[in-house]
Amino acid sequence: MERSAHEVAVPARLRASWQRSERYGAPLDEVEPVFTSTVDDGSLFYECGHEVLENLHQTLANEPVSLMLTDSEGLVLSRLCSDSTILRSLDRVHLAPGFYYSERNAGTNGLGLALADRAPTLVSAEQHYCAGLWGYTCAAAPVVDPATGVLLGSVNLTTWSQSSKQLLLAVAQAAAGNTAALMMARGSGRTPRPAPRGEVFRVYSDRTPSALPLSQGWRQALAEAETAMAQGRVLAVVGEPGAGKTALASLARRSIRPRERVLNARPPAPRDADAWLALWAPELGKDDTCVIVSGVDALPASAAEELADALAGVPASAFTMTADDHTAVPEVLAELIDAVVEVPALRYRPDDIEPLADHFAGRRRFTPAAMRALTAYQWPGNVKQLREVVRQAARADVIDTRHLAPEVFSGATHRLTRIEAVERDEIVRCLTQPGASVAKAATMLGMSRATIYRKIAHYDIKVPGR
């Protein structure tokens, strides 16, 4: 099969894209994009873009439109869509997270051309170079870093080719603009706390490290929780965010009642408090069921009062509470608490880092240098941060220092601006490459050795072996 720009009336930009696609050797019949399991979902661009698309998705939830975020190379980072039919169809052409959809990989398509020309683009039906994409209309708009002008990626909206497309490109442009605006608003380095969503889910035993050889600090807290529960006391488990409060409460319950069902109810947004409580309150008091109510110190006063009323009529064995700070627990709930157990922060139990990291890594293993870096770090985000760092690094079978997040090598005590964080990350990336040295890193970054030494000291960068 041969494609020619004369077969379909196309604008000059599309014609040029077809020509590039032909030079690249892009497939004509079936899309065969490159796949990677490495997707950067920790950047400010991803955070802001995904948030914008999630809000847009709520508006378009009943429409057969797939909302996607890609990086500057056309790698699909995320995809949001509620229409199962179009999702299955997109899966067949690999328009899904982890696949590259640049012109070079997929020929002329909306997001690929938007990235190539750095301009909003609409590609519909037979305007696509590959016949496998003729069933779709793709509208995409590039996202440019508002501070540096660097191309970061694109926002892409895909629907059926026969669907109305008049507003599709405008919506894509608005989403791209909102992403850039949100990045600018957050570019000072301040990281907003995730909005509470009030999830309620079951805690399974295989998700908690019950058999790990953890430290005395953890074992003591666990023993105190088990004792309080065995005595029928209302327990509050407290500690820093991410320290493992829910995990400890769940392990303690199962040590007493191994076959018990454990539910975790996380705090909701204030406007959703009534629906949140109605969702899981009927589970209270059921035989062999315990509810761990998380973050009670973050509840609005009205929600705390309703929760206290619901808890007052059930036995102590039916629930456990967690909080970051027991002194901030609303008074109506604090009056119910008979015992408080504190989970030590991870920095106070460094012996737990290695077994937890191995547990999170599964079958993958760490090099000695990588493990030294993990155990030397202070982990301000506690176990939750460790789990996330290992999850990102575990795309490699053997995890070395170069696979770890740059934050692990920095002991900077002040909050970094976005530009500082990028600079620190680049220095760490260069220093963790095989055979790297300060001199080589300076050359790669275009800095003098004196400057890079000063930067290393400024960010308190510590790389094992350097």
What is the average pLDDT across 304-309?
A: 88
Q: Which CATH number covers residue 385?
A: 1.10.8.60
Task: Report the sign of the C-alpha dihedral through residues 282, 284, 290, 296, in that order.
Answer: positive
Q: What percent of the chain has pLDDT over 70?
A: 91
Q: Has residue 299 been placed in a domain?
A: yes
The mean per-residue pLDDT over the stretch 437-441 comes to 86
How does the average pLDDT of the chain come out, rounded? Answer: 87
Are 42 and 168 in the same domain? yes
DSSP for 361-415, written as a single string: HTT-EE-HHHHHHHHHS--TTHHHHHHHHHHHHTTSSEE-GGGS-GGGGB---SP
Letter for the amino acid at 382?
A: N
46 touches 39 (CB < 8 A): no
Taking the C-alpha atoms of residue 270 and residue 198, their distance in angstroms, rounded to an integer, is: 10
Residues contacting 344, CB < 8 A, separation 6+: 217, 218, 221, 239, 243
Do 271 and 389 belong together in one domain?
A: no
Last residue of a domain, one of 295, 328, 344: 344
What is the percent of the chain with per-residue pLDDT over 90, rounded to a whole number? Answer: 52
pLDDT tier for residue 391 given thresholds of 50, 70 and 90 = very high
How do strand 319-323 and strand 289-293 relate by DSSP bridges? parallel
Per-residue confidence band for 5, with pLDDT thresholds at 50, 70 and 90 = very low
Q: Are residues 28 and 177 in the same domain?
A: yes
* pLDDT tens-digit map of 365-389: 999 999 999 998 989 889 999 999 9
Contact 210, 326 (CB under 8 A): no
> Is 179 found in the same domain as 270?
no
Rg over CA atoms, the chain: 26
- 195 within some domain: no
From 90, 173, 184, select the one nearest 137 (Cα to Cα).
90
DSSP for 331-363, written as a single string: HHHHTT--EEEEPPPGGG-GGGHHHHHHHHHTT
Calculate mean pLDDT across residues 233-239.
Answer: 95
Do 182 and 86 reside in the same domain of the chain? yes
- Indicate the number of domains in the chain: 3
Q: Pull the structure tokens for residue 465.
A: 């072996």
d(CA 182, CA 418): 13
Q: What's the CA gap between 256 and 71, in Å, rounded?
A: 49
**Which of 186, 212, 227 represents a domain boundary (last residue)?**
186
**399 within a domain of the structure (yes/no):** yes
The pLDDT score that the predictor gives to residue 208 is: 56
Round to whole Å and give the CA distance between 23 and 25.
5
pLDDT at residue 243 in the model = 94
Whether the per-residue pLDDT at 349 is higher than 90: the answer is yes
Instruction: Starting at the earlier edge strand, list the strands of the sheet with 339-342.
Output: 200-202, 261-265, 289-293, 319-323, 235-238, 339-342
What is residue 269's predicted lDDT score, i.e. its pLDDT? Answer: 74
Q: Which domain holds residue 372?
A: 348-458
Please tell me whether residues 26 and 158 are part of one structural domain. yes
**Which pTM value belongs to this model?**
0.55
Identify the domain boundary among 186, 218, 238.
186
The β-bridge partners of 322 are 237
- Nearest CA-CA partner of 214 in 178, 248, 184: 248
Q: Is residue 465 part of a domain?
A: no
Cα angle 229, 235, 237 (rounded to 5 degrees) comes to 115
35: in domain: yes
For residue 244, the domain's CATH number is 3.40.50.300
374 and 440 housed in the same domain: yes
Per-residue pLDDT reduced to its tens digit, 118-128: 889 999 999 99
Q: What is the pLDDT of residue 415?
A: 57
Question: Looking at residue 64, which CATH number applies to its domain?
Answer: 3.30.450.40
- Whether 413 shows a pLDDT value over 60: the answer reads no
Same domain for 157 and 294, yes or no, is: no
**Stretch 415-424: mean pLDDT, rounded?**
73
- For residue 463, is it within any domain? no
Question: Residue 357's pLDDT band (boundaries 50, 70, 90)?
Answer: very high
Judgement on whether residues 162 and 18 belong to the same structural domain of the protein: yes
What is the model's pLDDT at position 330?
A: 84
Encode pLDDT of 41-96 as tens digits. 889 999 999 999 999 998 887 889 999 999 999 999 999 999 999 999 999 999 99
Tell me the angle at which helices 12-24 and 110-117 cross, rounded to the nearest 10 degrees: 100
- Are 233 and 286 in a shared domain? yes
For 135, counting Cβ atoms within 10 Å of its Cβ (0-12 exposed, 13-18 middle, 19+ buried), the class is middle
Q: Are 157 and 213 within one domain?
A: no
Is residue 207 pLDDT above 80, yes or no?
Answer: no
Predicted confidence (pLDDT) per residue in 256-298, tens digit: 998 889 999 998 876 787 889 998 999 998 888 999 999 998 8
374 found inside a domain: yes
In a domain, 464, yes or no: no
In a shared domain, residues 177 and 204: no
| Six-digit token string for 315 | 């036995």
Give the model confidence (pLDDT) of 21-35 as tens digits. Answer: 998 999 899 998 999
| Residue 341 in tokens | 């157990």
Instruction: Calculate mean pLDDT across residues 246-251.
Output: 94
Q: How confident is the model at residue 6 (pLDDT cuts 50, 70, 90)?
A: very low
